Homo-oligomer: A and B are copies of this chain.
Amino acid sequence: MTAVTQTAPLTHEREFNISWVDAGPFLALAALLLIGFIINPDFLSVTNLSNVITRSAFIAIIAVGATFVISSGGLDLSVGSMAAFITGVTIMFMNMMAPDFGTWSIPAGMAFALVVGLACGLVNGAIVTVGKIEPFIATLGTMGIFRALITYMSDGGTIPIDRSLRDAYRPVYFGTVAGIPIPILISLAVAAIGAVVLYKMKYGRRCAATGANEDVARYSGISVVRTRTIAYVIQGACVAIAAICYVPRLGAATPTTGQLWELQVITAVVIGGTTLRGGKGRIWGTVAGAVILELIANLMVLSDFVSEYLVAAVQGVIIIIAMLIQRFSK
């Protein structure tokens, strides 16, 4: 019997290397800020950044919801038209209340928006889970439905908010608290709540487990139907919150409101590091992803060397590069 003597042991990497995976989107964000600054120093001005981040709030808020849906193994293509629909019915509701209740109709309308959002989410969730229809198709269907409803309700035109409510409502988008724009605060709050639910509550665990492996979840006594439906309901609530912030910005709902938001939302989630296959979601990455998207658009406006025809191409290239940074920082 020949024994071989052992030399240096193999090294096993430490468990706790601050995970670069999580850092990916933030690195991409930092790179973008740097590039932006080089291209146009105005880019880093407080006004500009605060504008951009404020804008990204809608997508960020909706994308927090989408992080739940995607991490539970679903997908929601209807968020953009759901946003338009909720915006529309909320404005109609507020306008209807305004003569009698004055500015009180604003909070009432907000509550109404939330209820509608929850209901829309429930519909999506039920079709996907109870109807057992591929989420892509189910929500593509409801996307058409919500969009058509708002077109119908607006008679193909716009639904503007009552002038009497305009000024009272304005601060929800344009106001600041301690210098920070309110939409930023709201989106941070939504993200923080989202993070607590996803990382610190039972529901979050179930959501991730359902997305990671449905059978395992089921065998662990988790109701896949319930978990996934709740994710869609959360998504509905987030869309409603975004809609609430959105109304004062544009003052109206139109049949084109929220068009293509679904793509931005999904992109934000994926850039943020959540995979479309489901499993663990990354709320803060999602928020970073939403900001990245808005920054890219902003950069396009601030820089002058891209032909207007090519903007979409450059955006596409940047998104792919951001994903590569994301990936190779792993």
A57 interface contact, C-beta 8 A: no
A8 interface contact, C-beta 8 A: no
Contact B141 A309 (CB under 8 A): no
A324/B152 contact (C-beta < 8 A), A142-B316, A263-B140, A316-B144 known: no
Contact A133 B313 (CB under 8 A): no
A6 interface contact, C-beta 8 A: no
Q: Could you tell me the distance between the alpha carbons of A155 and B308 in the complex, rounded to whole angstroms? A: 10
Chain B minimum-CB-distance residue to A151: B309
Q: What is the total number of copies of this protein in its complex?
A: 2
User: Can you name 16 A-B pairs with beta carbons within 8 Å?
Assistant: A127-B320, A131-B320, A133-B320, A133-B323, A137-B323, A138-B323, A141-B316, A141-B317, A141-B320, A144-B315, A144-B316, A145-B312, A147-B313, A148-B313, A149-B313, A151-B312
Q: Could you tell me the distance between the alpha carbons of A163 and B164 in the complex, rounded to whole angstroms? A: 58
A134 interface contact, C-beta 8 A: yes
A133: chain B residues within 8 A (beta carbon): 320, 323-324, 327
Within A182-223, which residues are at the interface with B (CB < 8 Å)? none
A136 interface contact, C-beta 8 A: yes
Interface digits, A263-294 against B, CB 8 Å rule (1 contact, 0 not)? 10011001100011000000000000000000
Q: How close is A147's CB to chain B, nearest CB, in angstroms?
A: 5
Size class of the A contact interface (CB-based, 8 Å): 35 or more
Q: How close is A120's CB to chain B, nearest CB, in angstroms?
A: 13
Contact B144 A312 (CB under 8 A): yes
Q: Could you tell me the distance between the alpha carbons of A313 and B78 in the complex, rounded to whole angstroms? A: 12
A319 interface contact, C-beta 8 A: yes
Within A127-173, which residues are at the interface with B (CB < 8 Å)? 127, 131-134, 136-138, 140-145, 147-149, 151-152, 155-156
Main secondary structure of the interface of A (DSSP, over half): helix
Q: Could you tell me the distance between the alpha carbons of A228 and B329 in the complex, rounded to whole angstroms? A: 24
Interface digits, A300-325 against B, CB 8 Å rule (1 contact, 0 not)? 00000001011111111101100110
Query: Among the listed B137, B275, B316, which residue makes an inter-chain contact with A140, where contact means beta carbons less than 8 Å apart?
Result: B316
A271: chain B residues within 8 A (beta carbon): 137
Query: Among the listed B148, B275, B315, which residue makes an inter-chain contact with A309, where contact means beta carbons less than 8 Å apart?
Result: B148
Contact B316 A145 (CB under 8 A): yes
Contact A309 B156 (CB under 8 A): yes
Query: Among the listed B138, B155, B320, B323, which residue makes an inter-chain contact with A320, where contact means beta carbons less than 8 Å apart?
Result: B138
A310: chain B residues within 8 A (beta carbon): 148-149, 151-152
Q: Could you tell me the distance between the alpha carbons of A267 and B141 in the complex, rounded to whole angstroms? A: 10
Q: Could you tell me the distance between the alpha carbons of A165 and B45 in the complex, rounded to whole angstroms? A: 55
A134: chain B residues within 8 A (beta carbon): 270, 275-276, 323
Contact B317 A145 (CB under 8 A): yes
Q: Could you tell me the distance between the alpha carbons of A68 and B206 in the complex, rounded to whole angstroms? A: 33
A270: chain B residues within 8 A (beta carbon): 134, 136-137
